[in-house]
A and B are shown apart, each in its own frame.
Chain A
Amino acid sequence: MSSPASGQVAELAAALAATASRPWTVMEVCGGQTHAILRWGLDQLLPPGLRLIHGPGCPVCVTPAERIDAALELAARSGVILCSYGDMLRVPGSTMGTDLLGARASGGDVRLLTSPLQAIALARGAPACQVVFLAVGFETTAPATALLLRQARQLGLANLSVLLAHVRVAPAMEALLLDPATQVQGFLAAGHVAAVMGSAELRELVARQRVPVVVTGFEPADVMAGLLQLVQLLEAGTPALANAYGRVVRERGNGAAQALLREVFVVEDRPWRGLGTIAAGGFGLAPAYRGFDAIERFGLAPTQDGRPRPNTPCISGPILQGRAIPPDCPAFGSACTPEQPLGAPMVSSEGACAAYHRYRRQSP
């Protein structure tokens, strides 16, 4: 199996133990990092006082249930081809037990895409059908949706639209800090978002909120190196931004991707599933692209505030806010499993519940 640089990880773990003089609570924002931490058992290598809480950085998890409901409604219509990324197909809507795979089994035309641009070929190949792309994800996947829309506009494709659920990470990090109950003292930020957006947004966040943020990647050594830098900043009392992922993340990010985002989207307040509406928390369509909005084209109900329904035992809200861990949930592993998920964090490979269920069900 590919080597996770075990020597380097052991050295970083020793350095962390030598650096941490008191307890610290930090959040890894990205689900990819949560997954790596549990996958590699990195929490078993940390000094006892260093507590990790798992952030909301799972794009599938934070997509509002109403968006899934809208997708389900469209998938049930004849003449509609509903397409999205693989792990969106198993996310339950607001009614328990409904998902896009189920819609497909009931006769809906639901397609799995690995790139949004595949929707162009779908739309051209089925001119009598309406192709709807359920567009989810952070600043990592939003540029690909933007590229799809730019091309669709150039081609004048009238039978393509998007159900937009792209969200912005930095405003959500700030919203978590503004919660008076927050325990987060520092962040590990997601390297792939920073690779697109650069450092500016995070620098502003650090300046406003006075918390240290370290950008890092997803390999075990990246996570450990990020934690070491974060603890060093905390111990020194320095609320600064550091980059532990220099091999990927540049100060200015990806200019071409940012230009695409600016052309196709506008920043809007958006609901995050489990977190509620976050100011400037996502993207809407720029005026020139409004015609591609599936909500308007099909006359669907707009999205609500993203808060979970009170009638479900799922505690995905507190989990996505880092106020609870999956084993705290009464449904975890019993009423809620990857086969019968009650909430999105049990579905996605980046969801905290799925990661705990997969690697930690009976703790070793």
Chain B
Amino acid sequence: MGDRIQLAHGGGGTLMQQLIHQELRALYADPAQVLHDAARLELPHGPLAFSTDGYVVQPLEFPGGDIGSLAVTGTANDLAMAGARPLHLSVGLILEEGLPLELLRRLVASMAMAARGCGLTIVTGDTKVVERGKADGVFLTTSGIGVVEAPGPIDPTAIRPGDQLLVSGDLGRHGVAILAARHGLALQPPVLSDCAPLWPQVSALLEAGVRIHCLRDLTRGGLASALQELAEAAEVELAIEEGRLPVLEPVARSCALLGFEPLHLANEGRFVVAVPPQARDQAQALLAASGGAWIGSVRPATGAGARVLLTTALGTERLLVPLSGELLPRIC
């Protein structure tokens, strides 16, 4: 079938059948489902969570992951943020004419592995091929269904003054990995993306009986943007202790070099959680195993409105504001 994707691979004829049966089969836990127009699902009782997301990352492969692992894990993580165990996923592929087949094979294998890692099955999909120049190699869209296992609502409006804030692991690594790959920066040792499923950590909190008020995964915009969104939605002030934020040395160093704030960098396997004060120590113990940490607490909003205040490691205070515009490396 040649070594590159051709327009005919999306044309509905024999080449397309070959693509689906030979190359994309590895995506599916049950290959028989490929032949149907829709998957028939047996779902557990209880409320369902449903989420969708598009993935357009460049480069397609980066240290610690690729667009395939990102597309599966990202949507699974959105479900986990609703307190739901991820169950099933659909995958839409938009392939650019000329895409090396070998690269597609690696991405498909990576998606299948990520699905197993997330404990979900890919049950249906769609493939389109567009002319060269009309897409950036591969675009992926995934939609997922999960069953909600959290006993109460998980929502920014459930955040209360006095709640305690924790993050599930070290911050900023995915952003540094992508920026280094994109700008040709050879970091030694390389910084790997933090792309990882979040449900295992959420499930551990729920099983231990930790009452979760809110979860938010730290994707584009990083912790700073997530915290600002939570502060505004809950109409509270968040007080963060900079000295408690887990940022690994290579990430901090790269940021100092490029003029970035580590708290603005994307993550793909991290969340921030708000729990009532009495649950703080238990949540901290459960998350510490994976590098998580307590980072601050929730206060009533003052006259200055919803905001995020950071106490620096020097004991001074400053605002923590979301990223503005595009992340661009500085001049010197």
Contacts and interface: CB of A to CB of B under 8 A. Distances in A.
Contacts of B253: 2
Contacts of B321: 357-359, 361
Given A2-B249, A137-B332, A42 B316 contact: yes
Contacts of B304: 362
Interface in A317-364: 337-339, 348-350, 357-362, 364
A140 B329 CA distance: 16
A3 B315 CA distance: 12
A44 B319 contact: no
B307 A140 contact: no
Q: Classify chain A's interface size.
A: 35 or more
A60 interface: yes
B316 A44 contact: yes
Interface stretch (A85-93, A246-254, A279-287): A85-93
Nearest to B256: A2
B255 to A, nearest CB: 9
Contact of A362 (B246, B262, B307, B314): B307
Given A362-B319, A364-B309, A90 B314 contact: no
A114 B309 CA distance: 32
B313 A6 contact: yes
Contacts of A9: 314
B247 A44 contact: no
B319 A112 contact: no
Contacts of B319: 358-362, 364
A348 B243 CA distance: 26
B318 A360 contact: yes
Nearest to B252: A2
A1 B316 contact: no
A223 to B, nearest CB: 11
Contacts of B329: 85-87, 112, 114
Contacts of B330: 85-87, 348-350
B328 A87 contact: yes
A337 B321 CA distance: 13
A44 B325 CA distance: 29
Nearest to B242: A1
Interface string A1-43: 1111010011000000000000000000000100000111110
A87 to B, nearest CB: 5
B301 to A, nearest CB: 12
B317 A338 contact: no
A21 to B, nearest CB: 24
B331 A141 contact: yes
A257 to B, nearest CB: 13
29 contacts: A6-B313, A40-B314, A40-B316, A40-B318, A42-B316, A44-B316, A45-B314, A45-B316, A59-B331, A85-B330, A87-B259, A87-B328, A90-B328, A114-B185, A136-B331, A137-B332, A220-B314, A339-B325, A348-B330, A349-B259, A358-B319, A358-B321, A359-B319, A359-B321, A360-B318, A361-B319, A362-B319, A364-B318, A364-B319
